[in-house]
Amino acid sequence: MPFCLSLNCSRFTARNQTHLCPIAHVRSRSFTVKSRATIAGKSDMAASTVRVAAAQMTSVNDLAANFATCSRLAKEAAAAGAKLLCLPESFSFIGAKDGDSVKVAEPLDGPIMQQYCSLARESGIWLSLGGFQEKGCDDEHLRNTHVIVDDSGSIRDTYRKIFLFDVDVPGGRVYKESSFTEAGKDIVTVDSPVGCLGLSVCYDLRFPELYQQLRFQHEAQVLLVPAAFTKITGQAHWEILLRARAIETQCYVIAAAQAGKHNDKRESHGETLIIDPWGTVVGRLPDRLSTGITVADIDLALIDSVRAKMPIAQQRKPIDFWKSSSV
């Protein structure tokens, strides 16, 4: 019964996580894979698993300092055996005042992205670079772009954030991302060694229809949600929304988060998470730990068995059903 076995293993892993340092995560992961193979009495049980890492960091208004942090984390993830490292939204820069991020925005073939492509090649790891400040069509606008770079340093695809954060946060400040950002309009999936990746960024998380499209129209297996959630909204909604997306799409969800204080005015809710398609948290970095990685093994067989046993893809209603049933 590989289905039950995998679920048990996931629960076991979640309970036994330690948050003291990233290396502790690595140890508990290796143990899980080994114990599953032992319990099953089969040495090839781990064949469908691929290791991934998700980072947490506190980006500041210093491109070089953020790159140094990302380099260290990429090397740590590669040493832990991860094939993909997911970095949070605004990994390369978070400005101290309005307008800073538009000033540093560059095209995808500019020096900043080239540096991250070299990092992927030198570390031999795929990178999910969520929330890159890509230069827009004029000097006043950027695109909030999620870039997937493969382990040879080539850009495989890019997704531009569709839903922009124009929100009056209760008890917080007013955000108007659309004042300096061009919204994307295309849904993007990318084939990778860890399965079919479904791309999104931060505030997109609140729009389940995007993830329904990624899973049911574009066959995503692993949803990526790099973010810089606000302290207030993150505490209230972050983990619940992520687990809901994993459960309702039967996908893994990898959510790399900014954490801590970036400057006097801005603080993010950390809690980087990796969630399996049953909704179990299999990797976590607590909010108080500002920089590090967590790793988990993506089990493609678990995705298949969750989907086979609870066949929601076949049980969904076509859009016409809702039209004809409405009053």
Which stretch, 12-20, 107-115, 200-208, 291-299, contacts ligand KGT (CB under 6 A)?
Answer: 200-208
* Cα(39)–Cα(45) distance, integer angstroms: 10
- Which residue's CB is nearer to ligand KGT, number 13 or number 233? 233
- In the set 89, 134, 182, 271, the catalytic residue is 89
Name the amino acid, one letter, at 156: R
Distance set, CA 238 to CA 6, 241, 244, 253, 277 (Å): 25, 6, 10, 12, 17
- Which residue's CB is nearer to ligand KGT, number 3 or number 175? 175
Is residue 206 involved in binding ligand KGT (CB under 6 A)?
yes
The reply to whether 9 belongs to the active site is: no
Among 132, 165, 211, 278, binds ligand KGT (CB under 6 A): 165
Name the amino acid, one letter, at 300: L
How many amino acids of this chain bind ligand KGT (CB under 6 A)?
15
For residue 96 the two structure tokens come to 């101290």
Map residues 239-268 to x or -, x wherever contact with ligand KGT holds by CB under 6 A.
------------------------------
The reply to whether 202 belongs to the active site is: yes
Helix (H) or strand (E) holding 69: helix 63-79
- In the set 202, 231, 251, 271, the catalytic residue is 202
Map residues 63-92 to x or -, x wherever contact with ligand KGT holds by CB under 6 A.
--------------------------xx--
Q: Minimal CA–CA distance to 255: which of 205, 196, 299? A: 205
Ordered DSSP codes for 177-222? GGGTBPPP----EEEETTEEEEE--GGGGG-HHHHHIIIIIT--SE
List residues binding ligand KGT (CB under 6 A).
89-90, 94, 101, 131, 165, 175, 177, 202-203, 206, 228-230, 233
